[in-house]
């Protein structure tokens, strides 16, 4: 079958000398789901931007329907039949679903009944019902993802690029996306370029796979001939050994309690929680989206003005504010790193020194650029951040390297308690391993760590005990060595009855399950 799209030795060199693509070949065929994988910084985003018309290639050819093309803009690429669904869905929250779906159309279409008919036809075609009059701001993340898919189909696209479409979705929402992708490729004959870090979904969903590493395509293969281990090795350039479950580190029988919560709650979001975390302990928080995981961390960090109850660090109660939390030695690495964890227009060195400016300042008052730059260099070296220099903006980093900066900025302060909210979301397998090993290192250094993750196998790998949350409540606690991913999924989904073992939960949540 002739390829709908071909990249022939495509190169991209940026004005600062950074080489992102070094002669990439790629073929995408109609009726197939083509997986595009690679570590953060491998060149995936650059390739997608060239394909979508946002970047021009520095060399090589892009061939579309048998003819060489060079799109001058995303609109030009879209007009030719290429639609890109970006990881951070670019919808307009103040407009309705229908208005977003046909956002690119010109004219007075909002009052045109023909658009309503087109929208209804899309719902029927995909087998998914959306309320065309609902505001996008009122939708779940999964529903927004479906709006983006409808938007792509509304343009008549022949090739749909999906960049991490399931990264922030719950299992049920992922299944809806999978079903839609299969329908588009197998029934409608669309070409799908599917970017994902989830190797299991790549194996289950794609027909063929291309792996990029350091700007070069190092693997082209039919998915049926691969397994997760071979893909992981191609991505990392080395054998990836799965992290074994952490054996609880030996510590004194009376290790000091670094974090203590006493009836911490938030009306409508978080039921009363009481718990203790000792020095050197990693506690995992398992739960589905909306279970209250992030709300718990925000309440601990003082970011929830409606929270009640008490938070104590090393035995001392702290005021309810983020400033007081930082001063007491609590660090939060939030789920949304670009909006909440970093200042996008700041360089690496400036982001790294923000929480501890006094330590790089003259007389703890006047920041000194030389000291701040050295701190940035140390962060790059310590966490193996892939960057040209500390002067690089964090927006120029890959997802995994940006995430390392959000963690690195806390490593130079007197932090006692680390709160990590989805620290490995949307990053490649190599960077995930680096961050999970760092969690172990923090515990070994005597820190208290709470980790929230949708990937329960990661919690099992690094945690000593795991708390399962549902509907804003702590429903059960399990020793990591005595549970399984299967049990955690059942508990998180409300499909497993509480047992006598859950009596231990009373000490955590203050209520029986």
Give the pLDDT score at 57.
94
With 70 as the cut, is the pLDDT of residue 507 above it? no
Say if strands 257-266 and 82-85 run parallel, antiparallel, or are unpaired: unpaired
C-alpha 426/C-alpha 97 separation (Å) is 26
Condensed to tens digits (0 to 9), the pLDDT of residues 319-364 reads 999 999 999 999 999 887 777 778 888 889 888 887 777 777 777 6
Contact 6, 26 (CB under 8 A): yes
Tell me which residue of 55, 11, 20 sits closest to 388, measured CA to CA: 20
Cβ proximity of 394 and 328 under 8 Å: no
Question: Residue 450 in 3-state DSSP?
Answer: strand
Q: How many degrees, rounded to 5, is the angle at CA 92 between CA 86 and CA 93?
A: 110
Same fold, 3-236 and 257-329+414-509: yes
What is the pLDDT confidence band of residue 502, given thresholds at 50, 70 and 90? very low
- Is 95 within 8 Å of 115 (Cβ atoms)? no
Q: Is 252's pLDDT higher than 60?
A: no
Nearest to 170 by CA among 422, 507, 345, 379: 422
**pLDDT digits over 10-55, tens only?**
999 988 777 889 999 999 999 999 999 987 678 898 999 999 999 9
Measured CA distances, 94 to 74, 136, 181, 338, 410 (Å)? 23, 7, 27, 21, 36
**3-236 in CATH: which number?**
3.40.50.300
Answer yes or no: are the C-beta atoms of 281 and 448 closer than 8 Å.
yes
Cα 312 to Cα 360: distance, rounded to the nearest angstrom: 28
DSSP track, 302-321 = T--TTEEEEEEETTEE--SS
Domain ranges in the chain are 3-236, 257-329+414-509
pLDDT greater than 50 at residue 509: no
Question: Residue 480 in contact with residue 465, Cβ under 8 Å?
Answer: yes
Whole-angstrom CA distances from 129 to 246, 447, 465 are 44, 48, 40
- Distance, in Å, from the CA atom of 337 to the CA atom of 409, rounded to the nearest integer, reads 12
Report the pLDDT value the prediction gives residue 488, as an integer from 0 to 100. 86
**Cα-based distances in Å from 238 to 232, 356, 429:** 8, 36, 11
Find, among 196, 197, 165, 162, the residue nearest to 430 by Cα.
197
Q: Which of 200-204, 227-231, 279-283 has the lowest mean pLDDT?
A: 227-231
| pLDDT (0 to 100) of residue 60 | 95
Per-residue pLDDT band for 243 (boundaries 50, 70, 90) equals low
Q: In angstroms, rounded to a whole number, what is the distance separating the alpha carbons of residues 8 and 66?
A: 12
CATH of span 257-329+414-509: 3.40.50.300
Q: Which tokens belong to 296?
A: 């718990």
DSSP assignments along 376-423, one per residue: HHHHHHHHT---S-TTSBGGGS-HHHHHHHHHHTTTTS---EEEEEST
Q: Do the Cβ atoms of 209 and 37 come closer than 8 Å?
A: yes
Residue range 99-104: mean pLDDT, rounded: 84
Measured in degrees and rounded to the nearest 5, phi and psi for residue 409 equal: -65, -20
Coil, strand or helix: which one is 62? Answer: strand
* Residue recorded with tokens 């291309």: 210
Please tell me the distance from the alpha carbon of residue 134 to that of residue 114, in angstroms, as a whole number: 18
Question: With bands split at pLDDT 50, 70 and 90, how would you rate the model's confidence at 190?
Answer: very high
Q: Could you tell me which residue, 277 or 453, shows the higher pLDDT?
A: 277
Q: How far apart are the first and last CA of the chain?
A: 57
């Amino acid at each position: 079958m002739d390829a709908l799209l071909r990249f022939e030795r495509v190169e991209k060199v940026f004005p600062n000398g950074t080489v992102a693509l070094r002669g990439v070949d790629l073929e995408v065929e109609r009726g197939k789901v083509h997986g595009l994988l690679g570590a953060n910084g491998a060149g995936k985003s650059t390739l997608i931007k060239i394909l979508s018309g946002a970047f021009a290639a520095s060399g090589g050819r892009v061939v579309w329907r048998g003819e060489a093309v060079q799109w001058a803009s995303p609109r030009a690429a879209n007009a030719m039949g290429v639609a890109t669904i970006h990881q951070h869905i670019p919808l307009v929250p103040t407009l309705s679903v229908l208005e977003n779906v046909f956002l690119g159309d010109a004219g007075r279409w909002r009052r045109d009944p023909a658009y309503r008919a087109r929208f209804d036809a899309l719902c029927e075609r995909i087998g998914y019902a959306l309320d065309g009059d609902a505001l996008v701001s009122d939708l779940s993340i999964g529903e927004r993802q479906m709006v983006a898919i409808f938007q792509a189909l509304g343009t008549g696209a022949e090739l749909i690029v999906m960049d991490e479409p399931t990264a922030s979705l719950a299992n049920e929402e992922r299944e809806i996306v999978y079903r839609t992708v299969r329908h588009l490729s197998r029934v409608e004959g669309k070409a799908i370029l599917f970017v994902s870090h989830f190797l299991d979904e790549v194996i289950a969903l794609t027909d063929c796979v291309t792996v990029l590493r350091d700007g070069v395509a190092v693997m082209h293969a039919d998915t049926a001939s691969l397994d997760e281990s071979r893909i992981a090795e191609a991505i990392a350039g080395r054998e990836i050994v799965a992290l074994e479950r952490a054996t609880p580190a030996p510590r004194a029988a009376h290790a000091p309690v670094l974090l203590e919560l006493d009836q911490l709650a938030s009306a409508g979001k978080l039921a009363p929680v009481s718990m203790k975390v000792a020095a050197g302990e990693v506690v995992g928080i398992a739960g589905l989206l909306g279970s209250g995981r992030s709300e718990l961390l925000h309440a601990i960090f003082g970011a929830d003005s409606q929270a009640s109850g008490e938070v104590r660090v090393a035995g001392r109660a702290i005021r309810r504010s983020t400033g007081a939390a930082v001063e007491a030695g609590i660090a939060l690495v939030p789920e949304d790193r670009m909006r909440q964890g970093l200042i996008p227009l700041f360089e690496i060195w400036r982001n790294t020194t923000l929480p501890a400016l006094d330590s790089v300042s003259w007389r703890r008052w006047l920041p000194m650029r030389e000291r701040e730059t050295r701190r940035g260099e140390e962060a790059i070296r310590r966490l193996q951040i892939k960057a040209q220099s500390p002067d690089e903006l964090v927006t120029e980093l890959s997802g995994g390297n940006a995430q390392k900066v959000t963690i690195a900025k806390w490593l130079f302060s007197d932090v006692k308690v680390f709160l990590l909210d989805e620290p490995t979301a949307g990053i490649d397998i190599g960077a995930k391993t680096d961050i999970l090993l760092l969690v172990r290192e923090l515990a070994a250094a005597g820190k208290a760590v709470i980790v929230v993750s949708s990937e329960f196998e990661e919690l099992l790998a690094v945690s000593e005990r795991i708390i399962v949350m549902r509907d804003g409540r702590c429903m059960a606690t399990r020793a990591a060595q005595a549970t399984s991913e299967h049990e955690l999924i059942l508990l998180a989904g409300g499909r497993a009855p509480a047992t006598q073992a859950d009596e231990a939960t009373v000490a955590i949540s203050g209520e029986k399950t």
